[in-house]
Amino acid sequence: MAPLMRWVNAVLALVYPECCQICRKARATPAEGFVCAGCREDVRFIEAPFCRRCGMPFQGQINQEFECSNCLDVVWHFEYARAAVHAKGVVLDVIHRYKYTRQLWFEPFLAGLLSSVACGTSPFGMKSRPGSGATPAPALISEVDWDLLIPVPLHPVKEREREFNQAVRLARRLSPVSSIPTDCKVLRRVIQTRTQTRLSREERLQNVRNAFELRKGADLSGKRVILIDDVLTTGATTNACAEVLRGGGASKVCVWTVARRT
């Protein structure tokens, strides 16, 4: 795999000069997702304290686990949700360009952020996380012997329009780092819901109700599953997925995303 990736990166270097695709000034390699060290300084990792269930960061001094007020009136079907970074600045720009204009060269950058927190790796060969002077939270993914990575599915119509599912691609990047296999077929999206962008939390929860189902014959009995997506906002979509997975027999479900809207 390593020789193949070196060959791919060499070809990419011919097509795309090794220039940061954010500032267009500094050098950035394909392995870095064409995001230079200077632009990576804009990245803000999510550090403790944060809600133990939904992962929402909290501004202040809290030295023990807590659940935020937003979780008190929601029935979560996942054990916890975590995100690597705040969905702001460079990260949000890259995610939008990656998803909506197929700028797939950013994928190593996004996958590197996710694996750095979920698996405790060092992103882009750096000794410490960019933009963070705090002690990082532990890599929770290593605390449980997880069985599967399951990406949040797109509706087939939306996937044909976009030509790829970002959650699938990110899960496949995380799989060799975490040594957890990916299953992209066990969960299906069967209702083409309207966009969640302008909806309230309650509207989002209602919008995705019954939108997902297990593939016929799928058996998750006793499986410990990690749901993968790019961005977590209210958690409505991942919660709907988790409910279906738990209904299919999964004993544990957690959620990992690259970024979190705060």
- 132 falls in which pLDDT band (50, 70, 90)? very low
Residue 122 within a domain: yes
Give the integer Cα–Cα distance in Å for 37 and 34: 10
**What pLDDT is recorded for position 98?**
97
Number of domains in the chain: 1
Range of the domain at 183: 41-260
- Asked whether the predicted pLDDT for residue 64 surpasses 90, the reply is no
Residue 35 within a domain: no
pLDDT digits (tens, 9 = 90+) for 155-174: 999 999 999 999 999 999 99
Listed in sequence order, the residues at least 6 apart from 60 whose beta carbon sits closer than 8 Å to its beta carbon are 49
Residue 200 within a domain: yes
Indicate the average pLDDT of the chain: 87
Most distant CA pair in the chain, distance: 53
Residue 204 within a domain: yes
Residue 99 within a domain: yes
Give the integer Cα–Cα distance in Å for 20 and 24: 5
Identify the CATH number of the domain in which residue 106 sits. Answer: 3.40.50
Give the integer Cα–Cα distance in Å for 181 and 158: 25
Give the integer Cα–Cα distance in Å for 239 and 28: 37
Residue 97 within a domain: yes
pLDDT digits (tens, 9 = 90+) for 11-48: 655 666 789 999 999 999 999 999 999 999 999 999 88
8 A C-beta contact, residue 148 and residue 180: yes
Residue 27 within a domain: no
Averaged pLDDT, 52-68: 86
Residue 21 within a domain: no
